[in-house]
Amino acid sequence: MNKSQIITYLPYQKPFLFVDGIDSVSENEITGHYTFKTNEFFYQGHFKNNPVTPGVILTECMAQIGLVCFGIYLLKEELNNFSSPKIALTSHQMDFYLPVLPNEKVTVISEKDVFRFNKLKCKVRMMNEKGELICRGFISGMAQILAKAEIS
């Protein structure tokens, strides 16, 4: 499975897709990026005349790249016979250090901690273009692969 194929399996679409691309992926780590555009829906009210990306959106971006994309890659063998992976965030713990402003590109790096019984736990971090740490933490999720017959 190549990097662009991973994105096609994502269960998200605009305006709630926070993955522009996957830079690298292996059995132990994934790196991807996203640029927060100035017209994102959440900037309209957070904060008045001084937009900042909400922490929950940063967490979502980290989960989409560092958990869901990574989980899709790790489940690639199962996806050959099945389709429609469902990967849900089950827990997270994040520490935030720097704000993310409109038009800022971020990179998410996720390292596998545990992947067992379709449960994935990762150590994640988000960096800005200067290489500064924006936030870091742990995310976990569960995966369910539905057979094609179960979908219809």
Kindly indicate the confidence band of residue 16, based on its pLDDT and cuts at 50, 70 and 90: very high
Q: Average pLDDT of the chain?
A: 89
CA distance 48 to 31: 32
Contacts of 42 (CB under 8 A, 6+ apart): 53, 54, 57
pLDDT of residue 150: 46
Cα-to-chain-centroid distance, residue 98: 19
Q: Rounded to whole angstroms, how far apart are CA atoms 125 and 144?
A: 25
Question: What's the pTM?
Answer: 0.90
Q: 50-101: per-residue pLDDT in tens?
A: 999 999 999 999 999 999 999 999 988 776 655 566 677 889 999 999 999 9
- The residue annotated as part of the active site, out of 3, 46, 76, 123, is 46
CB 142 within 8 A of CB 87: yes
Residue 151 has pLDDT above 50, yes or no: no
pLDDT confidence of residue 149: 47
CATH number of the domain to which 74 belongs: 3.10.129.10
> Alpha-carbon distance 46 to 57, whole Å?
11
Range of the structural domain that residue 44 is part of: 3-151
The count of domains in the chain is 1
Q: pLDDT for 43-63, tens place per residue?
A: 988 888 899 999 999 999 999
For residues 147 and 97, the model is more confident at 97
Give yes or no: 33 in active site: no
